[in-house]
């Protein structure tokens, strides 16, 4: 409380509007502080009011600022809202925010060029992330390097939700993107497992070949030669 702000008698002019007792959001006008110079030149006088802010501070505010809602607190309101802004939007320029923004757009904005492959296929983003980039960062972490981008893993066809999203390099993403689950050869389409049984080529080898961009035919017709077991030295005869 400032005791140096002393109320002065109100001007007698009939056009003078008494604001005493009025409340402007957090400010309650408790007294008249007098006519004081305002404007650039300082040649004009304006009415100033002693206002008690809800936070306890006492300030002098110009009539014009009260009536036009320029000042609605002692300044505590702006401090709080800028802290609030930082809390919710302080990530506006981060790569993580951009990544999340893109995910949300792909899944929800029908005009997004990639919508058909995401939202159009029923892929969704969890509400937790839609509502908070900070929760997204808490769950997925910061991007480890510019080589990393967002990847759905382990379920590449799953939703954007905790447990199914990670930062991965392009290499990691291709390795795990087994969009192809079947191969076709001589008019027959079946799973990698079935082809493995049929050809005797281990399934891991088939996947490996596919990752190296081999054609289905080449994957299935190239003989697989298991590495020869290393020769075991004969034990000396006893
Ligand atoms: Zn205040």
Q: What pLDDT, on a 0 to 100 scale, did the predictor assign at position 222?
A: 92
25 Cα–ligand 1 center, Å: 10
130 Cα–ligand 1 center, Å: 33
Closest listed residue to residue 133, CA positions, set 179, 87, 169, 172: 87
DSSP-based three-state secondary structure for 85: helix
Q: What span, in angstroms and rounded, lies between the C-alpha atoms of 60 and 19?
A: 13
160 Cα–ligand 1 center, Å: 42
154 Cα–ligand 1 center, Å: 51
For residue 235, the Cα-to-chain-centroid distance in whole angstroms is: 65
107 Cα–ligand 1 center, Å: 43
43 Cα–ligand 1 center, Å: 30
pTM, entire model: 0.42
Q: What pLDDT, on a 0 to 100 scale, did the predictor assign at position 2?
A: 47
What DSSP line would sit under 87-147, residue for residue? HHHTTTTSHHHHHHHHHHHHHH-TTSTTGGGTGGGT--B-HHHHH-HHHHHHHH-S--STT
Q: Tell me: the pLDDT tens digits for 59-109?
A: 999 999 999 888 898 888 877 766 665 565 577 778 898 899 889 989 988
The C-alpha angle 135, 139, 142, rounded to 5 degrees, equals 95
59 Cα–ligand 1 center, Å: 9
Residues of the chain with pLDDT under 50: 1-2, 238
58 Cα–ligand 1 center, Å: 8
Q: What span, in angstroms and rounded, lies between the C-alpha atoms of 35 and 5?
A: 13
**CB-based contacts of 217-224 (< 8 A; 24+ apart in sequence):** 217/185, 219/183, 219/195, 220/183, 220/185, 220/195, 221/185, 224/199, 224/200
48 Cα–ligand 1 center, Å: 17
**Tokens coding 122:** 């029923």
79 Cα–ligand 1 center, Å: 9
99 Cα–ligand 1 center, Å: 38
Q: What pLDDT, on a 0 to 100 scale, did the predictor assign at position 172?
A: 79
82 Cα–ligand 1 center, Å: 14
For residue 200, the Cα-to-chain-centroid distance in whole angstroms is: 48
6 Cα–ligand 1 center, Å: 19
27 Cα–ligand 1 center, Å: 8
The DSSP H or E segment spanning 81 is helix 76-89
69 Cα–ligand 1 center, Å: 15
50 Cα–ligand 1 center, Å: 13
34 Cα–ligand 1 center, Å: 21
Q: Please, which residues bridge with residue 35 across strands?
A: 47
């Amino acid at each position: 409380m400032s005791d140096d702000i002393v109320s002065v008698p109100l001007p007698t002019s009939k056009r003078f509007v008494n604001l005493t007792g009025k409340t402007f959001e957090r400010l309650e006008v408790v007294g008249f502080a007098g006519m004081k110079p305002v404007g650039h030149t300082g040649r004009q006088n304006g009415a100033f009011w002693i206002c008690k802010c809800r936070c306890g501070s006492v300030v002098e505010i110009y009539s014009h600022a009260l009536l036009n809602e320029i000042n609605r607190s002692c300044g505590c309101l702006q401090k709080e809202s800028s802290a609030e802004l930082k809390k919710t939007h302080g990530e506006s320029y981060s790569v993580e925010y951009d990544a999340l923004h893109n995910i949300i757009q792909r899944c929800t904005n029908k005009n997004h060029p990639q919508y058909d492959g995401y939202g159009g296929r029923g892929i969704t983003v969890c509400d937790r992330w839609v509502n908070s980039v900070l929760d997204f960062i808490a769950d997925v972490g910061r991007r480890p390097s510019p080589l990393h981008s967002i990847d759905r893993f382990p379920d590449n066809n799953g939703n954007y939700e905790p447990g199914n999203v990670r930062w991965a390099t392009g290499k990691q993403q291709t390795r795990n993107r087994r969009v192809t689950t079947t191969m076709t050869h001589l008019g027959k389409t079946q799973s990698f497992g079935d082809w493995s049984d049929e050809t005797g080529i281990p399934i891991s080898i088939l996947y490996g070949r596919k990752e190296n961009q081999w054609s289905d035919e080449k994957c299935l017709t190239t003989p697989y030669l298991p590495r020869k077991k290393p020769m075991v030295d004969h034990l000396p005869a006893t």
